[in-house]
Amino acid sequence: MPEKHDIDAGAKPLSAEELRKQVLQREMEEMDKDRKLKAIQEQKHADFAADFLKKQVTEEEIAMVRRLVANAVRDGKFEAMVYSFPSELCSDSGRAINSGDRDWPETLQGKAKEFFERYQTYGKPQGYKLKAMIISFPGGMPGDVGFFLNWAPDKA
């Protein structure tokens, strides 16, 4: 829109049709911007999914888990969310996790499966517990899964 100082008071006013065209043009530019942003987000999601399903857990990801646990301990907590991923990357889109099915680990794929196997190998023998929960419900559907590592003492 023109600034106040750019308006020529003596000029012929724009027609209603010209104003409607300006509004329509602005709406189309906004829609185009939204479409481009959505395409970028979809590409990021596709890249994450490909990385998640095809690559292995990195040393940096393991170090991040250790930092999250250390930060939780420093804050006096006995649990930390150490990993999250979209539930659609489970073979059942997170249904078993959401319903508390004891066989939920069988639905894991990619890095989530590897994280769980690492927990079974290293964490569980050292007294850690792991739970998986759906941590978001966009549109009422399971969104992201969170892995929570717990080191609280067993209750008597």
Write out pLDDT tens, residues 106-118. 999 999 999 999 9
| Cβ contact 130:124 at 8 Å | yes
Q: Is the pTM of this model over 0.75?
A: no
In the predicted model, what is the mean pLDDT of the chain?
91
Calpha distance 115→113 (Å, rounded): 5
The string of DSSP letters for 23-86 reads HHHHHHHHHHHHHHHHHHHHHHHHHHHHHHHHSPPPHHHHHHHHHHHHHHHHTT-SEEEEEEEE
Q: Give me the pLDDT at residue 119, please.
A: 96
| Cβ contact 143:87 at 8 Å | yes
Determine the average pLDDT of the residues in 121-140: 95
Residue with tokens 């990619």: 110
Residue 3 has pLDDT above 70, yes or no: no
Determine the average pLDDT of the residues in 12-18: 88
| Cβ contact 53:86 at 8 Å | no
The string of DSSP letters for 127-139 reads T-EEEEEE---GG
